Amino acid sequence: MNWQDQVILVTGGTGSFGKKFVEIVQREFQPKKLIVFSRDELKQHEMRVAGFDQPNLRYFIGDVRDRERLRRALHGVDIVVHAAALKQVPACEYNPMEAIKTNILGSSNVIEAALDAGVKRVLALSTDKAVNPVNLYGATKLAAEKLFVQSNAYAAGTATRFSCTRYGNVVGSRGSVVPLFLQQRQTGRLTITDPRMTRFWLSLEQGVRFVIRCIEQMEGGEVFVPKLPSTKVTDLAKAIAPDAQVEIIGIRPGERLHEVLVNEDEARHTVELDDMFVIQPAEALWFGYAWQDRGRPLPEGFRYASNTNSEWLTVEQIREMVQSL
């Protein structure tokens, strides 16, 4: 793929992922045009004055809840990265309809507008919380995943293809516990919900580079899952504030001890590559099965979970990851 010929739009473009995506794509690929689509004029202004003001950059105010605005924004666009979401678990639990409007209906609007505009590739960002969800955020992202995978059925005979990436906690993103720990470090007291807790971890840059690779390789219908290291929340606390007092406050509503990126049922139609898993569509109605011969089938009962992972970050490795924050 020649990125210099592409017009790219990223929804949620002023968020943690969106800013890092714009930074890396601008620096390394210089696309024909890169459109930041988001609903907050102040964040767009702050992004522009922070140096994101190149001639090929466009700032488009809009909300994924507004299908007509999306149709206008996607005119002439080749690639869409759908990163807009409500993702704070407690906020989604307390405001369920708002989470549904943005994460499910907003995803549906992106799909409809992309089909109408003839966008070639649409990649949605999902989360480990979409697997066997126990909170509303995870449930909305699972529904969004299903929408993106199944919408390839509507794309038959057209150039439009839909796929998803699904990965774990991003160090330092707005939904991460890292900014909270950094803030609490100043008080000498850290709060942990449960000391047994484990999570998959990756940096913002790793997430962006994985998304770029998936855009280049997607056939339509896949869910791409990177192989990631796990970390214990207690090790994260030690890395950030080794001398702080730790208080156990109990698990929050909608929170769970461990995360899963591929469950046993999905494993039956998943192939393993050296650095990722590719979950193929459960039904071969259209495409997405080109990966069958590129990877290895998984053993019966396979489950990719943060607590049974073979790769773990040490306290020192965690410290290096959070140092820049």
Which residues are catalytically annotated? 129
Widest pairwise Cα distance in the chain: 61
Token code pair at residue 275: 């650095």
Asked whether the beta carbons of 10 and 83 are under 8 A apart, the reply is yes
Cβ contact 119:80 at 8 Å: yes
Q: Which residue has the tokens 């192939």?
A: 271
- Going through 155-234 in order, the beta strands assigned E by DSSP cover 161-167, 169-170, 189-192, 198-202, 223-226, 230-232
- Joined together, the tokens standing for residue 131 give 């697997």
318: number of Cβ within 10 Å: 23
Nearest Cα residue to 22 out of 224, 206, 30: 30
Structure tokens at 48: 């522009």
Q: Which two structure tokens, joined as six digits, stand for 118?
A: 């003839």
First to last CA, the chain: 33
Please report how many Cα atoms fall inside a 13 Å half-sphere around the Cα of residue 77, on the Cβ side. Answer: 29
Instruction: Indicate the helix (H) or strand (E) that contains 245.
Output: strand 245-248
Burial (CB count within 10 angstroms: exposed 0-12, middle 13-18, buried 19+), residue 321: buried
What is the Cα–Cα distance from 10 to 128, expressed in whole angstroms?
A: 21
User: How far, in Å, CA of 81 to CA of 89, rounded?
Assistant: 22
